[in-house]
Amino acid sequence: MDWKEIIQIVALATGLPYIVLEILQKRAMWIIGIATGAACSVAFIADRNWGQAGLNIYYMVMSVVGLVSWKMDEEKAGEGGIHLRRLTRKTALWSAIAFVLGSLVLAFLLRLLGDGVSLLDATATVLSIIGTIWLARSIPEQWILWIVADFLTTVLCLRQGNIWMGVLYIAYIASAVYGYRLWMKKGKYVV
């Protein structure tokens, strides 16, 4: 087993508890997200998937933002409740524009950096950035973005022979389906 495989196994070992805590909307997920983001960024850097590597560094930063945001929303929803915010037209519109423009610009930049799967990497990366913003704001439709982004990232990982990372992203897809259903069933809108 080489060091790249060990890093992927660490990412899987921290990523699985992360998704369980995400589904249950526990703030501890943000802390574990830092470790998962670090392991994933190293794994993606090793394969020159610069978009996904940068995305995981972004996840580490957003873990701090999410931790603070969820603490404030938790106070409004009550301890243990799943707190939700509505997806506004404004948020949906800026997200769509950011997705299209961001994917095109990032694909171009990644191609310049020698990323062999630049459009796939860029599309999954931009969707994930938007999904993380929606997650930090507790917008339940973020799960739909994750299903698509995680599917694309699974394809990316498996194309490059990163089986452990592929398994992690398959688990992310399953958790996104379950998480969406749970949040819609048990969530309480706070704003």
pLDDT tens digit sequence for 31-62: 999 999 999 999 989 988 888 899 899 999 99
Lowest average pLDDT, out of 76-80, 98-102, 168-172, goes to: 76-80
3-state helix, strand, coil in the chain (%, to 5): 80, 5, 15
Residue labelled with tokens 């603490």: 71
**Residue 72 pLDDT > 90:** no
Check pLDDT > 70 for residue 78: no
Looking at residues 86-104, what average pLDDT do you find? 97
| Mean pLDDT (whole number) for 101-125 | 91
Locate the domains of the chain by residue range.
3-189
Contact between 110 and 118 (Cβ < 8 Å): yes
At 46, the amino acid letter reads: A
User: Of 95, 73, 68, 69, which Cα lies nearest the Cα of 84?
Assistant: 73
pTM: 0.84
What is the model's pLDDT at position 182? 92
Residue whose tokens read 């706070």: 190
Contact of 15 with 89, CB cutoff 8 Å: no
Residue 80 clears pLDDT 70, i.e. is over it: no
Using a pLDDT cut of 90, give the percent of the chain over it. 64
Number of helices and strands in the chain (H, E): 7, 2
Alpha helices (H) in 24-88, listed in sequence order: 28-46, 50-77
Average pLDDT along the chain: 90
Q: What is the pLDDT of residue 190?
A: 85
Burial class (CB in 10 A: 0-12, 13-18, 19+), 169: buried
Region of residue 54 (phi > 0: left; psi between -120 and 50: alpha; otherwise: beta): alpha
Residue with tokens 């509505």: 86
Give yes or no for a contact between 153 and 124, defined as CB atoms under 8 angstroms apart: yes
- The tokens 């603070």 sit on which residue? 68
Q: Please tell me the predicted confidence (pLDDT) of residue 178.
A: 94
Query: For position 27, what pLDDT does the model report?
Result: 86
174 sits in which H/E element: helix 163-186
pLDDT score for 35: 93
**Mean pLDDT across the stretch 153-167?**
92
pLDDT number for residue 158: 94
Q: What is the mean pLDDT of residues 23-31?
A: 88
